[in-house]
Structure 1
Amino acid sequence: MSPQRPLALVTGASRGIGAAVAAALAPTHDLLLGGRDAAALADVAARLGDRALPWPVDLTDPEALAGATERIDELDVLVHSAGVGMLGTVAELDVATWRRQFEVNVVAVAELTRLLLPALRASRGSVVCVNSGAGLAARPGWGSYAASKFALKAFADALRGEEPALRVCSVHPGRVDTDMQRAVVAHEGGTYDGSRYLRPESVAATVLAAVTASRDAHLTDLVVRPSES
Protein backbone atom coordinates (compact mmCIF):
# COMPACT_ATOMS: atom_id res chain seq x y z
CA MET A 1 0.00 0.00 0.00
CA SER A 2 1.23 3.48 -0.86
CA PRO A 3 1.64 6.17 1.82
CA GLN A 4 0.66 8.73 -0.81
CA ARG A 5 -2.83 7.30 -1.28
CA PRO A 6 -5.65 7.20 1.27
CA LEU A 7 -6.68 3.80 2.61
CA ALA A 8 -10.27 2.54 2.47
CA LEU A 9 -11.80 -0.57 4.03
CA VAL A 10 -15.00 -1.79 2.36
CA THR A 11 -16.99 -4.61 3.93
CA GLY A 12 -19.21 -6.84 1.84
CA ALA A 13 -16.75 -6.26 -0.99
CA SER A 14 -17.01 -9.67 -2.63
CA ARG A 15 -20.11 -8.77 -4.65
CA GLY A 16 -22.99 -6.36 -5.19
CA ILE A 17 -22.83 -2.86 -3.75
CA GLY A 18 -19.63 -3.54 -1.81
CA ALA A 19 -17.72 -4.65 -4.91
CA ALA A 20 -19.06 -1.64 -6.82
CA VAL A 21 -17.95 0.72 -4.03
CA ALA A 22 -14.48 -0.82 -4.10
CA ALA A 23 -14.28 -0.30 -7.86
CA ALA A 24 -15.39 3.33 -7.49
CA LEU A 25 -12.71 4.01 -4.88
CA ALA A 26 -9.93 2.07 -6.61
CA PRO A 27 -8.64 4.91 -8.84
CA THR A 28 -7.84 7.10 -5.82
CA HIS A 29 -7.58 4.80 -2.79
CA ASP A 30 -5.70 1.77 -1.58
CA LEU A 31 -8.26 -0.85 -0.61
CA LEU A 32 -8.89 -3.52 1.95
CA LEU A 33 -11.67 -5.75 0.67
CA GLY A 34 -13.67 -7.15 3.57
CA GLY A 35 -15.80 -10.27 3.45
CA ARG A 36 -15.98 -13.94 4.39
CA ASP A 37 -15.39 -15.52 0.96
CA ALA A 38 -11.63 -15.34 0.46
CA ALA A 39 -11.79 -16.68 -3.11
CA ALA A 40 -14.40 -14.14 -4.19
CA LEU A 41 -12.42 -11.32 -2.57
CA ALA A 42 -9.29 -12.47 -4.42
CA ASP A 43 -11.21 -12.29 -7.70
CA VAL A 44 -12.32 -8.73 -6.96
CA ALA A 45 -8.78 -7.76 -5.94
CA ALA A 46 -7.40 -9.21 -9.19
CA ARG A 47 -9.77 -7.02 -11.19
CA LEU A 48 -8.83 -3.90 -9.24
CA GLY A 49 -5.05 -4.34 -9.34
CA ASP A 50 -2.27 -4.45 -6.77
CA ARG A 51 -3.71 -1.53 -4.78
CA ALA A 52 -6.47 -3.82 -3.48
CA LEU A 53 -5.95 -6.56 -0.90
CA PRO A 54 -8.44 -9.19 0.30
CA TRP A 55 -9.32 -8.78 3.99
CA PRO A 56 -11.22 -11.99 4.77
CA VAL A 57 -12.82 -11.98 8.22
CA ASP A 58 -16.10 -12.98 9.82
CA LEU A 59 -17.44 -9.68 11.10
CA THR A 60 -19.50 -11.46 13.75
CA ASP A 61 -16.41 -13.09 15.32
CA PRO A 62 -15.07 -10.55 17.88
CA GLU A 63 -11.68 -12.23 18.32
CA ALA A 64 -11.08 -12.54 14.58
CA LEU A 65 -12.16 -8.95 14.09
CA ALA A 66 -9.82 -7.68 16.78
CA GLY A 67 -6.92 -9.56 15.24
CA ALA A 68 -7.67 -8.34 11.73
CA THR A 69 -7.80 -4.67 12.77
CA GLU A 70 -4.88 -4.47 15.21
CA ARG A 71 -2.31 -3.42 12.61
CA ILE A 72 -4.42 -0.74 10.94
CA ASP A 73 -2.95 2.50 12.32
CA GLU A 74 -4.57 5.00 9.97
CA LEU A 75 -7.75 4.63 7.94
CA ASP A 76 -9.25 7.29 5.70
CA VAL A 77 -12.50 5.58 4.71
CA LEU A 78 -14.62 2.87 6.30
CA VAL A 79 -17.60 1.70 4.24
CA HIS A 80 -20.04 -0.66 5.93
CA SER A 81 -21.67 -2.49 3.02
CA ALA A 82 -21.98 -6.00 4.47
CA GLY A 83 -25.48 -6.94 5.57
CA VAL A 84 -28.18 -9.57 5.54
CA GLY A 85 -31.86 -9.24 4.69
CA MET A 86 -34.23 -11.89 5.99
CA LEU A 87 -37.87 -11.08 5.41
CA GLY A 88 -41.04 -12.29 7.07
CA THR A 89 -43.84 -11.14 9.32
CA VAL A 90 -43.53 -10.77 13.06
CA ALA A 91 -45.58 -13.94 13.38
CA GLU A 92 -43.20 -15.87 11.10
CA LEU A 93 -39.71 -14.86 12.20
CA ASP A 94 -38.11 -16.63 15.14
CA VAL A 95 -35.66 -15.21 17.66
CA ALA A 96 -32.63 -16.63 15.84
CA THR A 97 -33.52 -14.65 12.72
CA TRP A 98 -33.91 -11.41 14.66
CA ARG A 99 -30.60 -11.97 16.43
CA ARG A 100 -28.73 -12.83 13.24
CA GLN A 101 -30.06 -9.79 11.45
CA PHE A 102 -29.06 -7.42 14.24
CA GLU A 103 -25.74 -9.18 14.77
CA VAL A 104 -24.65 -8.58 11.17
CA ASN A 105 -26.42 -5.31 10.36
CA VAL A 106 -25.81 -3.46 13.63
CA VAL A 107 -23.58 -5.13 16.22
CA ALA A 108 -20.78 -6.04 13.78
CA VAL A 109 -20.86 -2.52 12.35
CA ALA A 110 -20.57 -0.99 15.80
CA GLU A 111 -17.73 -3.28 16.87
CA LEU A 112 -15.68 -2.83 13.69
CA THR A 113 -16.09 0.93 13.95
CA ARG A 114 -15.10 0.90 17.63
CA LEU A 115 -11.93 -1.07 16.89
CA LEU A 116 -10.98 1.27 14.05
CA LEU A 117 -11.78 4.57 15.76
CA PRO A 118 -8.13 5.34 16.62
CA ALA A 119 -7.15 4.79 12.97
CA LEU A 120 -10.07 6.89 11.72
CA ARG A 121 -9.33 9.68 14.18
CA ALA A 122 -5.68 9.71 13.08
CA SER A 123 -6.71 10.59 9.52
CA ARG A 124 -9.93 12.51 10.27
CA GLY A 125 -11.60 9.87 8.17
CA SER A 126 -15.06 9.10 6.81
CA VAL A 127 -17.51 6.38 7.82
CA VAL A 128 -20.27 5.44 5.39
CA CYS A 129 -23.09 3.11 6.39
CA VAL A 130 -24.87 1.61 3.39
CA ASN A 131 -28.36 1.53 4.84
CA SER A 132 -31.65 1.04 2.97
CA GLY A 133 -34.95 2.67 2.22
CA ALA A 134 -36.17 0.26 4.89
CA GLY A 135 -34.11 2.27 7.36
CA LEU A 136 -36.51 5.17 6.84
CA ALA A 137 -39.87 3.43 6.52
CA ALA A 138 -40.97 -0.08 7.49
CA ARG A 139 -43.41 -2.16 5.46
CA PRO A 140 -45.34 -5.27 6.44
CA GLY A 141 -43.12 -8.31 6.16
CA TRP A 142 -39.95 -6.23 6.52
CA GLY A 143 -40.10 -5.64 10.28
CA SER A 144 -36.91 -7.37 11.38
CA TYR A 145 -34.80 -6.05 8.50
CA ALA A 146 -36.22 -2.53 8.83
CA ALA A 147 -35.69 -2.53 12.58
CA SER A 148 -32.01 -3.38 12.07
CA LYS A 149 -31.66 -0.62 9.49
CA PHE A 150 -33.41 1.93 11.72
CA ALA A 151 -30.88 0.92 14.38
CA LEU A 152 -28.04 1.33 11.90
CA LYS A 153 -29.15 4.90 11.18
CA ALA A 154 -29.34 5.60 14.92
CA PHE A 155 -25.78 4.27 15.26
CA ALA A 156 -24.54 6.58 12.49
CA ASP A 157 -26.33 9.58 14.00
CA ALA A 158 -24.84 8.89 17.43
CA LEU A 159 -21.34 8.36 16.02
CA ARG A 160 -21.55 11.65 14.11
CA GLY A 161 -22.33 13.52 17.32
CA GLU A 162 -19.68 11.74 19.36
CA GLU A 163 -16.84 12.01 16.83
CA PRO A 164 -16.94 15.54 15.35
CA ALA A 165 -13.60 15.06 13.60
CA LEU A 166 -15.07 12.29 11.45
CA ARG A 167 -17.53 12.52 8.60
CA VAL A 168 -20.35 10.01 9.01
CA CYS A 169 -22.90 9.37 6.28
CA SER A 170 -25.91 7.08 5.95
CA VAL A 171 -26.74 6.12 2.37
CA HIS A 172 -30.30 4.88 1.84
CA PRO A 173 -30.72 3.16 -1.53
CA GLY A 174 -34.02 1.97 -2.89
CA ARG A 175 -34.14 -1.46 -4.49
CA VAL A 176 -30.84 -2.44 -6.11
CA ASP A 177 -30.10 -5.08 -8.75
CA THR A 178 -28.24 -7.57 -6.53
CA ASP A 179 -28.41 -11.21 -5.47
CA MET A 180 -30.19 -10.08 -2.31
CA GLN A 181 -32.86 -8.38 -4.43
CA ARG A 182 -33.39 -11.58 -6.38
CA ALA A 183 -34.04 -13.38 -3.11
CA VAL A 184 -36.47 -10.64 -2.03
CA VAL A 185 -38.45 -10.87 -5.26
CA ALA A 186 -38.53 -14.65 -5.00
CA HIS A 187 -39.84 -14.31 -1.42
CA GLU A 188 -42.53 -11.96 -2.68
CA GLY A 189 -43.48 -14.38 -5.45
CA GLY A 190 -42.68 -11.92 -8.23
CA THR A 191 -40.79 -12.08 -11.53
CA TYR A 192 -37.32 -10.56 -11.39
CA ASP A 193 -36.49 -7.67 -13.72
CA GLY A 194 -33.19 -6.07 -12.79
CA SER A 195 -33.80 -3.10 -15.10
CA ARG A 196 -36.42 -1.82 -12.66
CA TYR A 197 -33.84 -1.31 -9.94
CA LEU A 198 -30.78 0.77 -9.20
CA ARG A 199 -27.45 -0.52 -10.43
CA PRO A 200 -24.87 -1.19 -7.70
CA GLU A 201 -22.61 1.30 -9.49
CA SER A 202 -25.18 4.05 -8.93
CA VAL A 203 -25.15 3.42 -5.20
CA ALA A 204 -21.35 3.34 -5.28
CA ALA A 205 -21.31 6.76 -6.95
CA THR A 206 -23.39 8.09 -4.05
CA VAL A 207 -20.91 6.64 -1.54
CA LEU A 208 -18.05 8.17 -3.52
CA ALA A 209 -19.72 11.59 -3.36
CA ALA A 210 -19.90 11.39 0.43
CA VAL A 211 -16.27 10.31 0.72
CA THR A 212 -14.79 12.82 -1.72
CA ALA A 213 -16.77 15.91 -0.76
CA SER A 214 -14.59 18.89 0.12
CA ARG A 215 -13.71 19.21 3.80
CA ASP A 216 -16.19 22.06 4.29
CA ALA A 217 -19.02 19.72 3.26
CA HIS A 218 -20.39 16.95 5.48
CA LEU A 219 -22.95 14.80 3.66
CA THR A 220 -24.89 13.12 6.44
CA ASP A 221 -27.93 11.38 4.91
CA LEU A 222 -28.28 10.51 1.23
CA VAL A 223 -31.32 8.86 -0.34
CA VAL A 224 -31.10 7.39 -3.85
CA ARG A 225 -34.07 5.84 -5.63
CA PRO A 226 -34.49 4.08 -8.98
CA SER A 227 -35.46 6.43 -11.78
CA GLU A 228 -38.99 6.06 -13.13
CA SER A 229 -37.83 6.68 -16.70
Structure 2
Amino acid sequence: MKYELLDNGVAKISLDNGKVNPITKVLAESLIEALERAESEAKAVVICGNPGIFSAGFDLKVVAQGMDVANEMFLAGFSLAEKMYRHPQPLVIACEGHAIGMGVFMLLAADYRIGAQGNFSLKLPETEIGMRFAPILKILAKTHIDPRHHSQAIIQSRGYDPETAAKIGMLDETVEAEKVIERAIQKAVELGALPAAQYKENKLYMRADEITLMSQTRGF
Protein backbone atom coordinates (compact mmCIF):
# COMPACT_ATOMS: atom_id res chain seq x y z
CA MET A 1 0.00 0.00 0.00
CA LYS A 2 1.16 3.55 -0.77
CA TYR A 3 -0.07 6.71 0.94
CA GLU A 4 0.42 10.20 -0.49
CA LEU A 5 -0.89 13.52 0.80
CA LEU A 6 -1.37 15.71 -2.26
CA ASP A 7 -1.03 19.48 -2.25
CA ASN A 8 -4.77 19.90 -2.74
CA GLY A 9 -5.54 18.20 0.58
CA VAL A 10 -6.45 14.82 -0.92
CA ALA A 11 -4.97 11.66 0.59
CA LYS A 12 -4.26 9.30 -2.31
CA ILE A 13 -4.07 5.67 -1.22
CA SER A 14 -2.85 3.08 -3.75
CA LEU A 15 -3.48 -0.60 -3.07
CA ASP A 16 -0.12 -1.47 -4.64
CA ASN A 17 -0.32 -5.17 -3.74
CA GLY A 18 0.79 -6.96 -6.87
CA LYS A 19 -0.70 -7.33 -10.32
CA VAL A 20 -4.34 -7.86 -9.26
CA ASN A 21 -4.23 -6.21 -5.82
CA PRO A 22 -5.57 -9.15 -3.77
CA ILE A 23 -7.08 -8.13 -0.43
CA THR A 24 -5.09 -9.69 2.39
CA LYS A 25 -5.21 -9.21 6.16
CA VAL A 26 -2.08 -7.06 6.03
CA LEU A 27 -3.42 -4.88 3.22
CA ALA A 28 -6.81 -4.44 4.90
CA GLU A 29 -5.20 -3.42 8.19
CA SER A 30 -2.82 -1.04 6.38
CA LEU A 31 -5.75 0.61 4.59
CA ILE A 32 -7.58 1.10 7.88
CA GLU A 33 -4.48 2.78 9.32
CA ALA A 34 -4.21 4.98 6.21
CA LEU A 35 -7.84 6.08 6.52
CA GLU A 36 -7.26 6.96 10.16
CA ARG A 37 -4.20 8.96 9.17
CA ALA A 38 -6.20 10.81 6.51
CA GLU A 39 -8.75 11.91 9.10
CA SER A 40 -6.09 14.02 10.81
CA GLU A 41 -4.36 15.55 7.79
CA ALA A 42 -6.55 15.43 4.67
CA LYS A 43 -9.83 16.85 3.42
CA ALA A 44 -10.82 13.87 1.26
CA VAL A 45 -9.53 10.46 0.21
CA VAL A 46 -8.98 8.70 -3.12
CA ILE A 47 -8.30 4.96 -3.22
CA CYS A 48 -6.94 3.52 -6.46
CA GLY A 49 -5.63 0.22 -7.80
CA ASN A 50 -3.61 -0.52 -10.93
CA PRO A 51 -4.27 0.34 -14.58
CA GLY A 52 -6.61 -2.38 -15.81
CA ILE A 53 -7.73 -3.61 -12.40
CA PHE A 54 -8.81 -2.20 -9.06
CA SER A 55 -8.83 -5.46 -7.11
CA ALA A 56 -9.62 -9.10 -7.81
CA GLY A 57 -10.91 -9.51 -4.25
CA PHE A 58 -9.69 -11.69 -1.41
CA ASP A 59 -6.42 -13.55 -1.93
CA LEU A 60 -7.34 -17.11 -2.93
CA LYS A 61 -3.82 -18.28 -2.08
CA VAL A 62 -4.61 -17.49 1.55
CA VAL A 63 -7.89 -19.40 1.32
CA ALA A 64 -5.91 -22.43 0.13
CA GLN A 65 -3.91 -22.33 3.38
CA GLY A 66 -6.96 -23.31 5.42
CA MET A 67 -10.06 -21.70 6.87
CA ASP A 68 -8.45 -20.47 10.10
CA VAL A 69 -6.06 -18.27 8.15
CA ALA A 70 -8.70 -17.41 5.57
CA ASN A 71 -11.20 -16.32 8.21
CA GLU A 72 -8.67 -13.89 9.67
CA MET A 73 -8.32 -12.35 6.21
CA PHE A 74 -12.08 -12.22 5.69
CA LEU A 75 -12.70 -10.54 9.04
CA ALA A 76 -10.00 -7.95 8.31
CA GLY A 77 -11.65 -7.26 4.96
CA PHE A 78 -15.06 -6.87 6.59
CA SER A 79 -13.57 -4.44 9.12
CA LEU A 80 -12.08 -2.46 6.24
CA ALA A 81 -15.42 -2.26 4.46
CA GLU A 82 -17.12 -1.03 7.64
CA LYS A 83 -14.35 1.50 8.23
CA MET A 84 -14.70 2.81 4.68
CA TYR A 85 -18.48 3.03 4.95
CA ARG A 86 -18.35 5.10 8.13
CA HIS A 87 -15.27 7.16 7.20
CA PRO A 88 -16.26 10.78 7.99
CA GLN A 89 -14.52 12.37 4.99
CA PRO A 90 -15.42 12.18 1.30
CA LEU A 91 -14.10 8.86 0.01
CA VAL A 92 -13.71 8.41 -3.75
CA ILE A 93 -12.54 5.26 -5.53
CA ALA A 94 -10.72 5.27 -8.86
CA CYS A 95 -11.46 1.93 -10.52
CA GLU A 96 -9.17 1.72 -13.54
CA GLY A 97 -10.47 -1.63 -14.77
CA HIS A 98 -11.81 -4.88 -13.34
CA ALA A 99 -13.24 -5.18 -9.82
CA ILE A 100 -14.17 -8.58 -8.46
CA GLY A 101 -15.67 -9.70 -5.15
CA MET A 102 -14.21 -7.70 -2.27
CA GLY A 103 -13.00 -5.19 -4.85
CA VAL A 104 -16.63 -4.42 -5.67
CA PHE A 105 -17.58 -4.26 -2.00
CA MET A 106 -14.89 -1.63 -1.48
CA LEU A 107 -16.52 0.36 -4.28
CA LEU A 108 -19.90 0.03 -2.59
CA ALA A 109 -18.47 1.20 0.74
CA ALA A 110 -17.17 4.46 -0.76
CA ASP A 111 -18.98 7.76 -1.33
CA TYR A 112 -18.29 8.07 -5.05
CA ARG A 113 -16.98 5.59 -7.61
CA ILE A 114 -15.35 6.38 -10.95
CA GLY A 115 -14.71 3.56 -13.39
CA ALA A 116 -12.69 3.15 -16.56
CA GLN A 117 -14.53 2.75 -19.83
CA GLY A 118 -13.55 -0.35 -21.74
CA ASN A 119 -13.69 -4.13 -21.78
CA PHE A 120 -13.73 -4.58 -18.01
CA SER A 121 -15.95 -6.55 -15.64
CA LEU A 122 -17.37 -5.75 -12.21
CA LYS A 123 -18.65 -8.86 -10.54
CA LEU A 124 -19.74 -10.45 -7.26
CA PRO A 125 -18.74 -14.11 -7.83
CA GLU A 126 -19.69 -15.50 -4.41
CA THR A 127 -22.38 -17.89 -5.66
CA GLU A 128 -20.23 -18.96 -8.59
CA ILE A 129 -17.28 -19.87 -6.35
CA GLY A 130 -19.35 -21.40 -3.54
CA MET A 131 -19.10 -18.65 -0.92
CA ARG A 132 -21.88 -17.22 1.24
CA PHE A 133 -22.44 -13.53 1.81
CA ALA A 134 -21.39 -12.25 5.22
CA PRO A 135 -23.94 -9.85 6.78
CA ILE A 136 -21.88 -6.72 6.06
CA LEU A 137 -21.53 -7.70 2.41
CA LYS A 138 -25.27 -8.29 2.15
CA ILE A 139 -25.90 -4.83 3.62
CA LEU A 140 -23.54 -3.12 1.18
CA ALA A 141 -24.88 -4.99 -1.84
CA LYS A 142 -28.57 -4.47 -1.09
CA THR A 143 -28.10 -0.84 -0.07
CA HIS A 144 -26.30 0.31 -3.19
CA ILE A 145 -27.18 -1.98 -6.08
CA ASP A 146 -30.44 -1.25 -7.91
CA PRO A 147 -33.08 -3.63 -6.43
CA ARG A 148 -34.05 -4.71 -9.95
CA HIS A 149 -30.58 -6.24 -10.26
CA HIS A 150 -30.33 -7.92 -6.84
CA SER A 151 -30.99 -11.38 -8.24
CA GLN A 152 -28.61 -11.13 -11.18
CA ALA A 153 -25.81 -9.14 -9.53
CA ILE A 154 -25.85 -10.64 -6.05
CA ILE A 155 -27.32 -14.12 -6.34
CA GLN A 156 -26.49 -15.11 -9.92
CA SER A 157 -22.89 -13.79 -10.10
CA ARG A 158 -23.49 -11.76 -13.25
CA GLY A 159 -20.59 -9.61 -14.41
CA TYR A 160 -21.26 -6.07 -15.63
CA ASP A 161 -19.34 -3.83 -18.00
CA PRO A 162 -18.47 -0.42 -16.51
CA GLU A 163 -21.24 1.50 -18.29
CA THR A 164 -23.91 -0.92 -17.06
CA ALA A 165 -22.31 -1.05 -13.61
CA ALA A 166 -22.79 2.72 -13.41
CA LYS A 167 -26.47 2.33 -14.23
CA ILE A 168 -27.11 -0.20 -11.46
CA GLY A 169 -25.11 1.46 -8.67
CA MET A 170 -21.74 -0.30 -8.64
CA LEU A 171 -20.19 2.86 -10.11
CA ASP A 172 -21.30 6.49 -10.28
CA GLU A 173 -19.67 7.44 -13.57
CA THR A 174 -17.20 6.21 -16.16
CA VAL A 175 -14.47 8.07 -18.02
CA GLU A 176 -11.65 7.13 -20.36
CA ALA A 177 -9.19 4.83 -18.62
CA GLU A 178 -6.31 7.29 -18.66
CA LYS A 179 -8.49 9.95 -16.99
CA VAL A 180 -9.82 7.92 -14.06
CA ILE A 181 -7.23 9.05 -11.49
CA GLU A 182 -7.44 12.67 -12.58
CA ARG A 183 -11.25 12.64 -12.39
CA ALA A 184 -11.23 10.90 -9.00
CA ILE A 185 -8.91 13.50 -7.53
CA GLN A 186 -11.01 16.27 -9.08
CA LYS A 187 -14.14 14.80 -7.48
CA ALA A 188 -12.40 14.41 -4.13
CA VAL A 189 -11.34 18.07 -4.21
CA GLU A 190 -14.90 19.06 -5.06
CA LEU A 191 -16.37 17.05 -2.19
CA GLY A 192 -13.59 18.08 0.17
CA ALA A 193 -14.59 21.72 -0.35
CA LEU A 194 -17.95 21.06 1.31
CA PRO A 195 -18.22 21.97 5.02
CA ALA A 196 -16.39 19.07 6.70
CA ALA A 197 -18.41 18.93 9.91
CA GLN A 198 -21.73 18.97 8.07
CA TYR A 199 -20.54 16.38 5.55
CA LYS A 200 -19.60 14.05 8.38
CA GLU A 201 -22.85 14.62 10.26
CA ASN A 202 -25.09 14.10 7.24
CA LYS A 203 -23.14 11.10 5.97
CA LEU A 204 -23.25 9.26 9.28
CA TYR A 205 -26.89 10.24 9.81
CA MET A 206 -27.96 8.93 6.41
CA ARG A 207 -26.02 5.69 6.95
CA ALA A 208 -26.88 5.27 10.63
CA ASP A 209 -29.24 2.31 10.21
CA GLU A 210 -26.75 0.37 8.10
CA ILE A 211 -23.84 1.23 10.40
CA THR A 212 -25.82 0.02 13.42
CA LEU A 213 -26.70 -3.20 11.64
CA MET A 214 -23.07 -3.72 10.64
CA SER A 215 -21.93 -3.33 14.24
CA GLN A 216 -24.53 -5.86 15.39
CA THR A 217 -23.69 -8.48 12.77
CA ARG A 218 -19.90 -8.41 12.48
CA GLY A 219 -18.26 -11.52 11.09
CA PHE A 220 -20.11 -14.35 9.40
TM range (shorter): 0.3 to 0.5
Higher Rg of the two aligned structures:
1
TM-score by length of 1: 0.34
TM-score by length of 2: 0.35
